[in-house]
Each structure stands twice: as structure tokens, then as C-alpha cells.
Amino acid sequence: MSATVQQSLGEFKSDDLTVKLLAGLYSVVPFSPNWVFYNNIQGAAQRLGAGPDVVSRAEAIAASEDVGKAMWMAGMLDTSDKLIAGYAGVKNLLSFFSSSSGGNRRTFEADPQQALDAGLKATGLAYMTYRLFPGSVGDKVKQFRELDAGKEAAIYFAVGEIALPFADNLAEEGAELVQKLMNRNEGEIAKKFAEFSDQASFKQASEMFGQMVGPLGQYVEQAKGHVNPIADKIKGFLPSGATLMNVADSATGVAATGADLMPVWTLLGARLAAEACVKRAMNGE
């Protein structure tokens, strides 16, 4: 059973590596919303300017089946040994910055496994969006884009999963890079997704992604001129060498080894779910 929104948020503390990484990333990406740390739905409500009366309604929405499925997907995005990915997203960043591989693996062609991983992350994000928001597909995209947590998830995907690992592709493709990545890996993404989910879920995610590819591509294009400054800054927030072997994140409870180092998507997904539930409660659901 997947963790609830409250449980997932409650696993994080302000000084966790996961939180520090994201806070550091958003502090240097000029088109990011201001990072606000919170670890419960009440904190999400405060961020959206909602009063205490909204929290109980948001908590009821958070207990729904659709939100539970979105949280399940968020956990899958972080867990490479449960079929979603061959490489965890943060491991991709560590690999990019390591002396042995940084600068060498900068294209889809040079690292097809990482390209597949990025495609699966995009599909998973689309599935979460489909489940978390009401209305038509167009309505869902609009609500996703309006939330700061939606912007945060889109920016992390654009920067951490696309712009930094595939900087050479980025220089040539820009906003078209996301669609190119998905087209290139369409068959493998469908096959991999089918290993842990059903055809109906993949259809929902695919339909949703068709409307999200444009907005995600815009964030990738925005990142285009900031790759080097972002890379220089992020280095300071990622452990390496001996430090890497001795740090632990309270949300994982295990020593960091590179694989599944920090549950970034679990936190981003929980924040997206929390803010979506609060917004729906504010709208009278």
C-alpha cells in the first residue's frame, strides 16, 4: 500500500539532503517559485493562503483513491528496483557530476537507459496529474500549471531529468527535446510501464502527456541558457566521494550509496498532491 500524502510529507525534515537539493536547485533557477518547506497538509494550505477550515476538507480529498494512486506513482518514480527506472533521478545527477562520466554522457544516443528513465518520469508525472485534478485533460493541465508545486515538479523534470543529463541534445533541440525523447522511447516506455501498471493507466498517462508536452518543453527551453550556472550551483548540494558513503536521509533511513540516494519524486509528488487537495477544497469540493 502506498503512503498517504501526510505520511510522505511527514517523513521529511528541513535539513534532509532531499530538501536541501531541491531548495538549492530552485534558488538558482530564475524561473522557479519561491521554495517553501512544509511537511503536512496544513503547511500546503498556508502556502496557498487557505484558512484552517480548508484543511479538514483537503485531508478528506487526500484520502481518496485517485490521490492514493498518484502517491503510489510518486514512490515508483524514485525506486529503480521496482521496474520504473534503470537509474534513479538523483543518481543521474551524481553520475553527471562525477569525474568519470560528466561531460561524456550528454545525449540520448550515448545513454539510452537514462533517456528511457526520463521518458518514464514524464509518463509518471502525467499519470499523477491525471489522477490529482478534476475536469477535462485541458482543465487538469491548467490546474497543474497554476500550482507552485506543479511548477516545481515541472522544473525538476526539465532541469534534473533533461537539461543536465542531455545538455548536447538540449543545445540543438530546446523545447522540442521532450517530444523527441518520448517519440524515441515510445515502445520501451509502454513496455516498461506495463510491467507495473495496467493498460488503462498507461492510456490515461499518455492522453495527459499529450497536453503536458508543450508546458514541459517550455521549461526545458527556459533551462537552455542556464545549464552551466545551474550545474555549478548544484554541485554544492550533492554529496560525493567519502561523504556520499556516510550520509543518510531521514526519509530513506539508509546510508546514501548513489542508487535511490534521495527520494526527490516522493517529496515532489506529495507536495503536488497536498497543494492539489487544498486547492480543490478551496474551490468547494
* pLDDT tens, residue by residue, 249-270: 444 433 333 334 578 899 999 9
**Does pTM top 0.95 for this prediction?**
no
What pLDDT shows up at residue 98? 52
Residue 102 backbone dihedrals phi, psi, to 5 degrees? -60, 130
What pLDDT shows up at residue 161? 86
What pLDDT shows up at residue 91? 58
**Cβ(156)–Cβ(230) below 8 Å:** no
Of 172, 162, 36, 41, the residue nearest 111 (C-alpha): 162
Of 63, 15, 12, 7, the residue nearest 38 (C-alpha): 12
Per-residue pLDDT for 150 more than 80?
A: yes
Per-residue pLDDT for 80 more than 60?
A: no
Per-residue pLDDT for 157 more than 80?
A: yes
Per-residue pLDDT for 94 more than 60?
A: no
What pLDDT shows up at residue 211? 92
Average pLDDT over residues 29-40: 94
**Cβ(128)–Cβ(74) below 8 Å:** yes
pLDDT interval class at 90 (50, 70, 90): low
Which range, of 4-8, 126-130, 151-155, 243-247, averages the lowest pLDDT?
243-247
**Which grid cell sits at 69?**
494512486
d(CA 239, CA 260): 13
3-state secondary structure of 248: strand
**Cβ(22)–Cβ(90) below 8 Å:** no
As beta bridge partners, residue 248 has 255
Place of cell 485531508: 59
Number of C-beta neighbours around residue 163 at 10 A: 25
What pLDDT shows up at residue 226? 79
What pLDDT shows up at residue 92? 55
Those residues with Cβ within 8 angstroms of residue 228's Cβ, 6 or more apart along the chain or in another chain: none
Whether the CA torsion 149, 198, 209, 217 is positive or negative: it is: positive
Domain boundaries of the chain, sorted by first residue = 5-282
pLDDT interval class at 167 (50, 70, 90): confident
What pLDDT shows up at residue 259? 34
